[in-house]
Structure formats: structure tokens, C-alpha cells
Amino acid sequence: MKDALRQSMAWLHTWLGLIFGWVLFGILLTGSLAAFYSELNLWAAPEVRAPIPIDRAHAVEMGRNYLTRHAPDAKQWRIVVPTPREPALRLVWTGSDGKATTHRLDPQSGARIARSMDAGFFFMRYHYTLGISRSDSPVGFLIVGAAGLAMLAACISGIIIHKRIFRDFFTFRPHASRQRAWMDMHNVLSVLPLPFHMMMAYTGLVLVYYAYIPAGVAMLYAGDSKAYQRDAAMSVYTDVQTAPGAPRMTTDLMPLVKRAESAWGGGPAVSIYISHPNRTNAAVEIWRQRDDRIASFPDRVAFDGVSGKMLRVLTKRSPARDAQSVLAGLHFIEWGGAAARWLYFAAGLMSAGMVATALVLFIAKREGRRATPSSFLSMAKTITVAAVAGNIIACAAYLLAERIVPVDALDRRSMLASCYFLSWLACLVHAGIRPYASAWTEQLAAGGLLTLALPISSWIVGIGLPVTIMRGDWIRAGADLMMLAIGMGLATGAFLVFRRTRTIAA
């Protein structure tokens, strides 16, 4: 009975790992990069000064004055207070047509930053939608959900099929046969961060469970997920669809910020929403920053925008909502500072490595076997190289394009996304026309060169390592140092594959 169960789980583990592994590697790689989404936004914007002292009161007043001049008739304003991770003042306003516009300012001089600072957000969007807008199509979002479910099932089936899971964890034989070495590497990368693998797969599904199990929302809310979320959050939102009232100056914002921080216990505020600004029916809602605790859903305090009267305080939710908030916080990693982000980044790369070694191991086990159709094996080789090395190249190409494409280019965001997907497509074509080992060597080498070019691009635009280290700009310096390390690692990998290929040929 045990052997039959183990064989069934082995079959499930193998085919889930192959089919969804091709998608999962890119999801896990971009998710690892997204742990530093704010830092990548800053790295890609050399014109933004950092580090700088931040005066919150000055920044809030500057933001209000800017919005008053540029969006006096907007239905809603949003002021995002600068932080050391995002040292730019972010201003968002929603017009009468429902379209949101975002501007960023230097919080000291008030000069507008022309760049969109979207580099890190791109990796975040790819991580949960494969870069496909949910408003256009839910396909990418649902594929990612299926991949998350497959990863969870693969983790559980992997535990069942391993007879000696703890001994395998301490066994690594890099000089053994190729198949044995890849198996040992897969075991180490699977068992060491196993709690992380399962936690991230599970919490990723819990975040938007209503989208993956839509029957309840469809029945009770006629498919309106936003209405469901409002009720689930036990919160009352200011209706910005109502007509604006008569002109009336909105009260000072900074005193409201201090009162909100007192109401929820002293944590810093980060976002200020003003609905119907400078009107008699204005309302101000202030959101707490999420970096001082695990719970992801922020506390909120709402005020009457004219009198400053406190209308409601949202600091407690239902136990179910609080549980989901903690699970979301574990996934989003806004807490814990730089140390926690580095830990998630390293564990995320290990997750990606687990998938990559599984894909390579699948092919290594079946090479030379008559039972495996050659056409299927050839296709698996092509997709595996493109899924692993191709995704690395695409990420590096995207970041390099952030530095090369002019800030004022027409539809710059789509152009940058195209750089990612076209780079990956080129890798797929290259892997299809080159021998398997040569494709690995050439694509790893190309990924290494592109990644090493990223810190060189920092030097070209005037924020190279000597400059950032001297300024104490450790966000950009850390990014460049990590890119150097990854680039050298990829180049070393290309050399090892090339040397092994030559040895086998000899």
C-alpha cells in the first residue's frame, strides 16, 4: 500500500513539476526580485536623490499645494509620504472620468520626477499575473493561481515520496554522476527552505481566495468582488461618485495625521486620501504604514474634511480578516526591514533553484531512454532552457532597458514590457535551434553579461559604486553589488557547462 501511494505521488510530483515548473520558475524569480520592488524603483531612477532627510510636514504641504494647482477638480487626491525606501513624494489624483494620474516630486525641491519609477512594480505584476492586466483578461492571474496550487501539491507529494528526507538534506555529491548530483542539489534546495516554499504557495492562494473560489461572490454579490471586499473588510468607504459640494477649504492635513497615529497607537502614517478636496463634502482617510508589524491590512482613520471631526477608526477586524491580514503580511514582506527582505530574496532564489534543478533532472533521467519520445524530449529541452536561462536574460534586459529607453518615450511602460517578453521569445527560439548543452552555455553567458552590464550602466549615469558608497546610498550600492555577484555566478555557470561539454565530447 505504501509503495503504491509513493509511486502515485512520484508520478504526480514529476508531471506537476514539469508542466507547471516551466511557468513557476519565472513566477518565483520575479517574486524574489519583487521583495525589493521599492529599491529597484529607486535604482532605476538615477535622478532621484538618496539618501535625503525627510520632513513629513513639508512634504504633505508641498503635495497638497501641487494637487491644488494641477488637479483642483479631481474627485480624489492621494498623498504618499516619502520614506527611506521610496524617497520621492508620490501624488495620485482621480479625475471625473475615473482615470488615475500619478506624479512624483523631489520632497525637498518640489521638482517633478519625470520617470515613472515602475521597475520593481513590473516584477510584482508579473509575479501574480504573468504581466497580463487583470482588467483585460484573468488568464494570467488564474494560471499563476494554478501554478501556486501545483507547487503546494508538489511540496506535499515530495515529502511523501522521500523515504530518507532528512538524510538527503545532508547529502550533496557534486562529483557523482550527473543525475545523482542534480538529485542531491534538488533535495537540498527543496528540504532546507521547505517551510518557506509551502508558506509562500499557501499564502499566495489565500490572498485572493475569492477569485479562485468565485461561487460565493457570484451568488451573494452578483460577481462584484469589490463589494465583497468592502463587506469583508468591515469598512465604510467614502463614495467619490457623488457630486462634489460647494467650494470650501479642506482643513490642514498634518494635524489629522498626528491624530490618526494617536488613534491607532503611534505607528507612522503613509497614505492620505482626500475625497472631494476643497468641497463641503470633503473626507480625509489616513492609512498606516505596514512596515512595523506583520499584519498587511493597514489601520485607517477617517475625518470630516472641513471640520476635522473624526468619523471612524478602523483598527480591529473580524478574527477571519485578521488571520488573512497576517497571512498576506507573510507573503508581501513589508515588515522586518532589510534583513527580512534579504532573507525572503535568498529563500525565493532557492525556490527558483528547486524548480530549475527539477526541470534539468527530468531531462537528465530521460536522455538516452527509448521509452521517451525524442520529439517530446527535444521540446522539453527547449522550453527548459528558455524557462530558466531565458527568464534570467529577460529580467536583466528589462532592467537595462529601464536605463536605456528615454524617459519621455511614447508609451514607455509598454515598450519596457516588450523588451522583457521579446527577450524571452528570442531565448526560446535560440534554445530551439541550438544543441541543448550549447544553448545552456550561450544563454547563461548572455545572462551573465547583461547582468554585469547593469552596474556598468549605473556608472555611466553617474551613480556608480564609488559614488553611492561615498554618499551612503546603500540601496543602490547593494543592488549593484548583488548584480555583480549574480553576473559572475552566471558566467561561472556558463564556463562549467562548457567545460563539462568539452570533457564529455573528448
SS (H, E, C) 324-380: HHHHHHHHHCCCCHHHHHHHHHHHHHHHHHHHHHHHHHHHHHHCCCCCCCHHHHHHH
CA distance 448 to 452: 6
More confident call, 75 vs 235:
75
Q: Does the pLDDT at position 434 exceed 50?
A: yes
Least confident interval from 74-83, 338-347, 368-377, 403-412:
368-377
* 470-499 mean pLDDT: 92
Torsion, CA 440, CA 443, CA 447, CA 452, rounded to 10: 100
Is the predicted pLDDT of residue 481 greater than 90, yes or no?
yes
Locate the domains of the chain by residue range.
2-46+121-206+336-505, 51-113+235-316
User: Quick one: pLDDT at residue 171?
Assistant: 61
d(CA 220, CA 257): 37
Q: Is the pLDDT of residue 81 over 80?
A: yes
* 336: confidence class by pLDDT, cuts 50, 70, 90: confident
| Nine cell digits for residue 187 | 533535495
Indicate if the pLDDT at residue 1 is higher than 50: no
Q: Could you read off the pLDDT of 288-322 as tens digits, one per residue? A: 998 888 888 888 999 999 999 998 888 777 787 78
Give 203-227 as a DSSP string: HHHHHTHHHHSTHHHHHHSTT-HHH
Q: How far apart are CA 267 and CA 172, in angstroms?
A: 46
- Contact at 8 Å (CB) between 105 and 67? no
Per-residue pLDDT for 189 more than 90?
A: no
Predicted local confidence at residue 460, as pLDDT: 92
Q: What is the DSSP string of 76-127?
A: EEEEE---SSS-SEEEEEE-TTS-EEEEEE-TTT--EE-S---HHHHHHHHH
Whole-angstrom Cα distance, residue 310 to residue 302? 6
What share of the chain has pLDDT > 70, as a percent? 91
- Share of residues in the chain with pLDDT > 90 (%): 52
Short-list 243, 159, 143, CA closest to 195: 159
Mean local confidence (pLDDT), 95-115: 89
* Residue of higher predicted confidence among 84 and 25: 25
Per-residue pLDDT tens digits for 211-221? 777 777 777 77
Interval 58-66 mean pLDDT = 95
pLDDT at 98: 79
Per-residue model confidence as pLDDT tens digits over 368-385: 676 678 888 899 999 999
Q: What burial class does residue 121 get, using C-beta atoms within 10 Å of its C-beta: 0-12 exposed, 13-18 middle, 19+ buried?
A: middle
